[in-house]
Amino acid sequence: MSNELTVINPGVLMTQATDVAGVCGEIVKRTAQTIQGRKYVKVEGWQSIAAAYGCIASSTNVQKVEGGTKAIGELRRADGTLIATAEGFVGEDEPTWYGGIVVSYGKEKTLPKRPDYAIRAMAQTRAISRVCRSAFAFVVVMIDSKLSTTPA
């Protein structure tokens, strides 16, 4: 394995990013989720961008840890080369997943704990979104500067 720095033409990179933004823009905008007045990219949008770059995002190593459940997201090229990793986490302090009291519009509501498979799946979803965000946030800004690059 070489430690040489590869120089890439930035004009070529920007042209490719513009092409990907054009191809993926509709799905990213259509699937974005509005939370408290801001639009956030969902995992489907992140995956479409990754696919347009010839990459596959997946998760691995899902496990219960102190304070919640974590998963590792991996972004790989089609040839299997690992490009990036990131962690997704669902905390036991999140009433939506682990149960507890939430206050909405001044009213308290008690939520039940979700099944373990759902908590594990959310950790995977967060890991995949986060790893794609780390590699492709600049494409989202090209699609629509009002979209938040924080995964939904």
pLDDT one-digit tens code per residue, 6-45: 677 888 888 888 888 989 999 999 999 998 889 999 999 9
Among the residue ranges 21-30, 82-91, 112-121, the one predicted with the least confidence is: 21-30
| ∠ Cα 141 151 148 (to 5°) | 35
For residue 133, give the nearest of 86, 91, 90, 89 by alpha carbon. Answer: 86
Going by pLDDT thresholds of 50, 70 and 90, the confidence category of residue 123 is very high
Q: Furthest-apart CA pair in the chain: how many Å?
A: 60
Given a cut of 60, whether residue 88 has pLDDT beyond it is yes
Q: 3-class secondary structure for 61-114?
A: EEEEECCEEEEEEEEEECCCCEEEEEEEEEECCCHHHHCEEEEECCEEEEECCC
Q: What global pTM score does this model have?
A: 0.87
Mean of the per-residue pLDDT values for the chain? Answer: 92
Instruction: Work out the average pLDDT over 40-59.
Output: 95
Going by pLDDT thresholds of 50, 70 and 90, the confidence category of residue 54 is very high
Going by pLDDT thresholds of 50, 70 and 90, the confidence category of residue 152 is low
Task: Tell me the C-alpha to C-alpha distance, in Å, between residue 29 and each of 62, 127, 141.
Answer: 29, 21, 11
pLDDT recorded at residue 105: 87
pLDDT recorded at residue 3: 67
